[in-house]
Amino acid sequence: MKEADLLEQRPVRATRVQKEQRILVEAERQFAQFGFEGASLETIAAAVGISRHNLLYYFPSKDALYRRVLDDVLDQWLAGMGALSAAEDPEAAVSAYIAAKVRNSLERPTGAKIFAKEVIAGAPRYADVIQARVQPLLQADVKTFERWARQGRIAKLNFTHLMFIIWSTTQAYAELGAQFALLLGKPELEPKDFKQAETLITRLVVAGLQQHPST
């Protein structure tokens, strides 16, 4: 292919990527607010300023768009899991992992909400991906904790449930953020609230992992 042809295609690809991202951002917002059934391609397209037919050029169905949104959320969520299993220092690894999870709730609350809606419904449209992508990484993280326990560096716990607890507590600041803000007497949670949550969650988890002399 000639260089001139390549140069002509680059702006086209860039424009397509930008349009896809606009659609995905709006779709994530609407799926998080209304759920899969409540959101519609028409309202998503209208918010982006395109027709439903044009939206279908980028995403062939509502299901395809929904799964792509969840894929993007999951990509960000899973990034920290790989880092945990490759770490050597338990306290530093757990602290960094919790910080990343809280940061996700702060920076992308709609992502946590849409994922929560799907899971609460029984994951009818995404169970296959969760099992294929999340389970192997969870098992790897659990093995890392078990290795640290065998080395006598942390206490022996049910590490699968430990991960569940970390997920639920950190994601609650996105899923239940409106309730927490209401009870704190403010219109919405502030970055300092997320930082305070991160500090406390980390303290509790690290303390739970500490070895205690037998009595």
- Under the banding of pLDDT at 50, 70 and 90, the label for residue 119 is very high
| pLDDT score for 27 | 97
CATH superfamily for 67-215 is: Tetracycline Repressor, domain 2 (1.10.357.10)
pLDDT over 70 for what percent of the chain?
A: 92
Whole-number pLDDT of residue 7 = 44
Residue type, 1: M
Structural domain boundaries in the chain: 1-60, 67-215
pLDDT digits 0-9 by tens, 38-92 = 999 999 999 999 999 999 999 999 999 999 999 999 998 888 777 787 788 999 9
According to CATH, the topology of domain 1-60 is Arc Repressor Mutant, subunit A (1.10.10)
Query: Where residue 211 falls among pLDDT bands split at 50, 70, 90?
Result: confident
Q: Which residues contact 184 (CB under 8 A, 6 or more apart)?
A: 193
For the chain, the average pLDDT equals 91
Can you list the pairs that 103-106 forms with residues at least 24 positions away whose Cβ atoms lie under 8 Å? 103/194, 104/76, 104/77, 104/170, 104/174, 105/170, 105/171, 105/172, 105/173, 105/174, 105/177, 105/194, 106/173, 106/174, 106/189, 106/191, 106/194
pLDDT tens per residue across span 3-33: 545 444 556 578 889 999 999 999 999 999 9
- How many C-beta atoms lie closer than 10 Å to residue 196's C-beta? 13
What is the model's pLDDT at position 213?
61
Least confidently predicted of 64-78, 125-139, 154-168, 201-215: 201-215
Is 179 a residue whose pLDDT tops 80? Answer: yes
35 conformational bin, left if phi > 0, alpha if psi -120 to 50, beta if neither:
left
Q: What is the pLDDT of residue 215?
A: 36
Residue 15: predicted pLDDT:
83
pLDDT at 77: 87
Query: Among 1-10, 72-81, 150-159, 198-207, which stretch is predicted with the lowest mean pLDDT?
Result: 1-10
Indicate if the pLDDT at residue 109 is higher than 80: yes
